[in-house]
Structure formats: C-alpha cells, structure tokens
Amino acid sequence: MKIYVPRDAAARGLGADDVAVAIVTEAAKHGVTVDLVRNGSRGMVWLEPLVEVATDAGRMAFGPMTPADVPALFGDLAAHPKALGQTDALPWMAKQTRLTFARVGVIDPLSLADYEAHGGLAGLRRALTMDSASIVAEVTESGLRGRGGAGFPTGIKWKTVAEAKADRKYIVCNADEGDSGTFADRMLMEGDPFTLIEGMAIAGIGTGATKGFVYLRSEYPDAIEVMTAAVEIARKAGVLGASVLGSGKAFDMEIRTGAGAYVCGEETSLLNSLEGKRGIVRAKPPLPALQGFMGKPTVVNNVISLATVPVIFERGAAFYKDFGLGRSRGTIPLQIAGNVKHGGLFEVAFGLTLGEIVDVIGGGTASGRPVKAVQVGGPLGAYFPRSLFDTPFGYEEFGAKEGLIGHAGLVIFDDSADMLKQARFAMEFCAIESCGKCTPCRIGAVRGVETVDRIAKGDAGAIPLLTDLCNTMKSGSLCALGGFTPYPVMSALTHFPDDFAPAMKEAAE
C-alpha cells in the first residue's frame, strides 16, 4: 500500500507528522506493508493534512486528516468519512496549469529517480547541448519575468551577466520570501528541491557562473533541511560538481541562511548579508549583474523564476510563452491567504481577474462576511476594493491600477477590517524594517505613523500631509521598501475614504 503524507511545513503545522505515525502504527496492526512517502503539499491548505492513497483508479485524497481518521484508511476507502475523491479531479487541481509546480505534491522530494521519472533533468540535459547565447536567448524568448516582485525580464539579466568579463560569476537564488501571505518559494523548495537546483545549474551554464548560493530565510527550517539534503544528493549523483552530468562544465552550490530581515530580500541588501556584512541596501549602479556578490557579475533571481527555467528548457520557450496575458507570459503560482475559505497555492496562466481568484477560487471569506479588500503583492502592495475586481492578473494591468502583483501573494480581508489601521500598519512596518540608508524612508515612515495617528484623531489637515509624504517617499527612496510603502497607504485612503471619515468630514466643512 502506497500512502502519501506531506512533509510540507504547513501540513506539519496542522498535524501531518502525527497522522504519519498513526499510519505506520495502524499498518503494523493490520500486518500491511506501507510505502509511506513524505511528499510536498498539493497546495490545498484548508484540507491539510491531505493524505493520498495510490489505487488502480489513481491517487485518492483524504482530508483534513487526524490520527483518529487513520484506521478507516485500512477499510473501504470509498466509504471513508474524509474521502475527497481522485486528487487530480478535485476542482482546485483540475482548474490549474501546473508547469513550475507540476511535480510538487506528486513526487518524493528527495528521490532523484522519482524526479527524473517525472521529467526532471530533461531541461538541463537540453541546455548542456546549447551554447551560452542560445541558452540566454531561450529564456528571453520564453518571456519569463522575475517572480520576486519587480517583474524584470530574466533573459536580459542573464545576458548582462553572460556578456560581462570576469574571472568568477555567481548565481544567487533569493529565497528570503518575506512578503506577507506568500509561501510559493517554501512549497517549491520543500516539495521539489531538484527543480530549483536544475534551474540554477542551467543559469550557471548559460551565464558562465560556476558557483551558486541559495539565500534561505532562517524561518524556513524545513526548506533548509530539504534543500541541504537535495544539494548533497545532486552532488553525489553528478548533477552538481566539476562536470555537470558529465558535460565537463562545472557548477556547484551552497545553502546559506539569512538572519531574518524583510529588507534582506532586496537584492543588494541580500548580497551584503551573503558577504557577511550588515543587510543594508547598496546604491545602483553598479547593477548586481555587473558587480554583485564579492564585486563579481551575479544573477540574483527569485526561487520561482529559477524553478521555472527547467520546464522552459524541457518543453521549449514557445510552449511556455503561449500561456499568459499581454507582457505577462507563462503561469503564476498565486498564493491565496488571509480571511479566505479556500487558501493555498494555485498555479495558473496570467489573466484571471482578481474577482475570479477571490470569489471563485478562494470561495470568499472564511468568516462568511463580505470581502472588503485584497492586498496584492505583499506588505508593499495596494489594497484593491471590490470595484477593481475586474482587474486581470498581470504586471501591467495591476500597475495601471496603482498596484503591483509582487510575488503574487493575495491577502483577503472581510468588512470588519479598518483600512486606516492597515495604512498605519504599512507605515509602521516600513519604519521597523527600514535599513536606514535613505532619509525619505528612515524618517518618512516614522512621520507617516504619526500622521495617520493625527488623521485617526480627526485632524483633517493631516490628510494632504500624508499624501505629500507618500509622494516624497515614492520618488525619493533608494529602494522599493520606502518607495512602495505609499501603495498600501494611498490605496487605503483612496478606495476606503469612509474609514478615514471623521477627518474627511472635517475637511469638507
């Protein structure tokens, strides 16, 4: 009997380990030999721990499971009270286009054989037959843009590094994943670590970098454990090392742990931290692509950007580019969180409207109350009201509405949310997390909290002051922490004026 119990941190947090122990105990009682696979999560967090049993009719899902539900797994499966049916046929799964996450939840994360049996390493093998320029051209042609937040074309970044002359070059994977409500990087690393390793190896071969680092946040102990083990396995198997898959081309990598600061996700701050310095933002230029880690040309890419590279090489740039909307090509792993009925990871081509994501896929709020706002793109993202729910999910489409998609995290709020408090929180977050290098952010965020407090007390004169302050932070900050904090603040003020009402009323008088 083959049974899958996720080893994903969210599933473990919800009791997956206890369920796994109960399965082993119960199997022994029944004299049944169980092949227990600790897989990644399928992304349906509200059903975790989601247990799957392999049957002739495919994998059957059961959840959310508790140890008390385990004995019935050894009886009539169809009659199990937690039976959900075939995993792949569940609406949440059937509606997705899983390219980057195709193997997550399906395979044993630390089995290289399982990885290869599901298409793994095909992309790297193909890349090894290509020269550097063709590898970079393939990435450019795919239309892939950085999934860390800025949406910068990955091919252009790789081209800059590939064409730079230097004795050493580096690939740095940004796995700091600091945005509120996001977990795609973590899920990928815990559920399919070899995909990230393969993507980094292709990046190295394509740009002439022989060394890579994954900068992984310390708050992700499970991901650190899985990634560290996977690198070791890949090295032993010759996927990493002096001759990648026997090609004669070298690429190796290490996992490094960050100490935990939101600003250390900003690429130049991350590089400082990786070099053992304080995580403070560097002025650009020079670009990290020309002078990055240790002053050498460095590709800094998000986990999802790099983990999407293998499928692009396996299926071809044209295949990947065919999905999407406008200049947002391919698929995006949406992370649906907050006050939502069905939260989790949903990978789909760009282009669904915000309303479809929140109401149809997410199923509305968990509280059952009306949705008031959705913050898209992490703590620096704008709050979208229901009147903007027709916005299609794409970089330009959200930009046109004074928002951003960032790392594709969506945090949903019901009508009990106070948007003035949310605006204050944005300023407070910026004040706490500011690296302190530039004045608009270091001082502006502190003044921002004070100004929102004045509005809360009914001081209408503080509203134009807050708008002014936001404009200064937007145009004068050195990086997006100070530069984008105005998005949540101004969207709260613009779309939810009633929450700033006492002051608004005074201003009208």
Ligand X SMILES: Cc1cc2nc3c(=O)[nH]c(=O)nc-3n(C[C@H](O)[C@H](O)[C@H](O)COP(=O)(O)O)c2cc1C
Interface ranges with ligand SF4 (CB under 6 A): 263, 281, 434-438, 441-442, 477-479, 481-482
> Shortest approach of ligand X to residue 144 CB, angstroms?
9
Handedness of CA 287, 293, 298, 301 (dihedral sign): negative
Q: How far apart are CA 60 and CA 51, in angstroms?
A: 8
Distances (CA, A) of 267 to 276, 280, 284, 437: 14, 10, 11, 15
The enclosing H or E element of 386 equals none
- Size of site (CB under 6 A) for ligand X: 22
**Nearest to residue 375, comparing CAs of 483, 495, 267?**
495
Neighbours of 412 (CB within 10 A): 26
> Shortest approach of ligand X to residue 372 CB, angstroms?
26
Q: Which one of 35-43, 175-183, 196-204, 458-466 is the stretch in contact with ligand X (CB under 6 A)?
A: 175-183
User: Interface with ligand X includes 147 (CB under 6 A)?
Assistant: yes
Convert residues 31-60 into a mask of x (bound to ligand X by CB under 6 A) and - (unbound). Answer: ------------------------------
Identify what 108 binds: ligand SF4, ligand X, none; CB under 5 to 8 Å per kind.
none
The enclosing H or E element of 452 equals helix 444-456
User: Interface with ligand X includes 149 (CB under 6 A)?
Assistant: yes
Neighbours of 284 (CB within 10 A): 13
Residue 130 burial (10 A CB sphere; 0-12, 13-18, 19+): middle
Q: Which one of 128-136, 144-152, 272-280, 455-463 is the stretch in contact with ligand X (CB under 6 A)?
A: 144-152
List the one residue from 70, 104, 263, 388 that touches ligand X (CB under 6 A): 263
Strands, sheet with 211-217, edge to edge from the N-terminal-most edge strand: 252-258, 211-217, 170-175, 298-302
- Any bridge partners for residue 83, and if so which? 62
**Nearest to residue 100, comparing CAs of 279, 378, 304?**
304
Q: What is the DSSP letter of 360?
A: I
Quick one: 317 or 481, whose CB is closer to ligand X? 481
Contact 481, 263 (CB under 8 A): yes
> Shortest approach of ligand X to residue 229 CB, angstroms?
23
List the one residue from 120, 178, 191, 381 that touches ligand X (CB under 6 A): 178
Quick one: 320 or 487, whose CB is closer to ligand SF4? 487
Contact 463, 455 (CB under 8 A): yes
> Shortest approach of ligand X to residue 161 CB, angstroms?
12
Going by their DSSP bridges, the two strands 35-37 and 2-4 should be labelled as parallel
Contact 191, 8 (CB under 8 A): yes
Both tokens of 218, joined, read 């310390």
For the segment 401-430, give every residue that binds ligand X (CB under 6 A).
none
For the segment 453-482, give every residue that binds ligand X (CB under 6 A).
479-481
Identify what 438 binds: ligand X, ligand SF4, none; CB under 5 to 8 Å per kind.
ligand SF4
Quick one: 256 or 442, whose CB is closer to ligand SF4? 442
Q: Which one of 176-184, 187-195, 323-331, 490-498 is the stretch in contact with ligand X (CB under 6 A)?
A: 176-184
Identify what 434 binds: ligand X, ligand SF4, none; CB under 5 to 8 Å per kind.
ligand SF4
> Shortest approach of ligand SF4 to residue 485 CB, angstroms?
8
Identify what 273 binds: ligand SF4, ligand X, none; CB under 5 to 8 Å per kind.
none
> Shortest approach of ligand SF4 to residue 501 CB, angstroms?
31
Q: How far apart are CA 427 and CA 446, in angstroms?
A: 7
Quick one: 153 or 363, whose CB is closer to ligand X? 153
Identify what 388 binds: ligand X, ligand SF4, none; CB under 5 to 8 Å per kind.
none
Distance linking the first and last C-alpha atoms of the chain: 74
For the segment 313-372, give every residue that binds ligand X (CB under 6 A).
none
> Shortest approach of ligand SF4 to residue 454 CB, angstroms?
23
Quick one: 297 or 482, whose CB is closer to ligand SF4? 482
Neighbours of 427 (CB within 10 A): 27
User: Interface with ligand X includes 302 (CB under 6 A)?
Assistant: yes
- Start-end of H helices in 279-349: 303-315, 317-321
Q: What is the DSSP letter of 196?
A: H
Quick one: 65 or 172, whose CB is closer to ligand X? 172
User: Interface with ligand X includes 186 (CB under 6 A)?
Assistant: no
Contact 309, 147 (CB under 8 A): no
**Nearest to residue 391, comparing CAs of 352, 419, 422, 360?**
352
Site for ligand X, rule CB under 6 A = 146-150, 152, 174, 176-178, 262-263, 265-267, 300-302, 305, 479-481
